[in-house]
Amino acid sequence: MSILSSDNVLAVANAMLGVLGKSGADILAYVNSESAKFAQSIETIVSLTKSGSISADEAKLQLDLQRNASQTVLTSVEGITAIMAARAINAGLSAIAGIVNTAIGFNILPTA
C-alpha cells in the first residue's frame, strides 16, 4: 500500500522548486556579475604588463590576488548552494510531514 499519492510527490517537488527556483536564478546572475569583474581586472593587469608599466613579478602577484578572490567567491557560492539545497530538501519533507507522521504514528518529521 502506498502512503504517498502522486499529488503528494508533486507537492514535494513543488516545495523544493519553490525554494530553488528564484535563488538559483539569483546565484547565476551573481556569478555572472562577479566573473565579469574579474575578467575586467585581468584585462587591466595584462594591459599594464604589455605597456611596461608593471613587471612580470608584479603581474604575477596581482594575478594571485585575483585568483584567490575568485576562489573566495566560488567557495562562498558553494556554501550558499549547499544551504539552498538543504532548505529545498527541508521544504520537500515539510510538504509531506503530516501524512508521514500520521502513517508512522509519531512525529518523525517536523511540521511547518
Residue numbers at the binding site for other proteins (CB under 8 A)? 23, 26-27, 30, 34, 37-38, 40-41, 44-45, 48, 53-55, 57-58, 61-62, 64-66, 68-69, 71-73, 75-80, 82-87, 89-90, 93, 100, 108-110
**Least distance CB 65 / other proteins (angstroms):** 4
Q: Which is nearer to other proteins, 30 or 98 (CB)?
A: 30
Phi, psi (degrees; rounded to nearest 5) at 52: 80, 10
Q: How far apart are CA 105 and CA 107, in angstroms?
A: 7
Q: Which is nearer to other proteins, 37 or 50 (CB)?
A: 37
**Least distance CB 103 / other proteins (angstroms):** 12
**Least distance CB 6 / other proteins (angstroms):** 20
What are the grid coordinates assigned to 6, written together?
Answer: 502522486
What are the grid coordinates assigned to 77, written together?
Answer: 557560492
What are the grid coordinates assigned to 88, written together?
Answer: 529545498
Residue 51 CA: distances (Å) to CA of 21, 45, 58: 46, 10, 13
**Least distance CB 112 / other proteins (angstroms):** 11
Contact predicate 97/112, CB 8 Å: yes
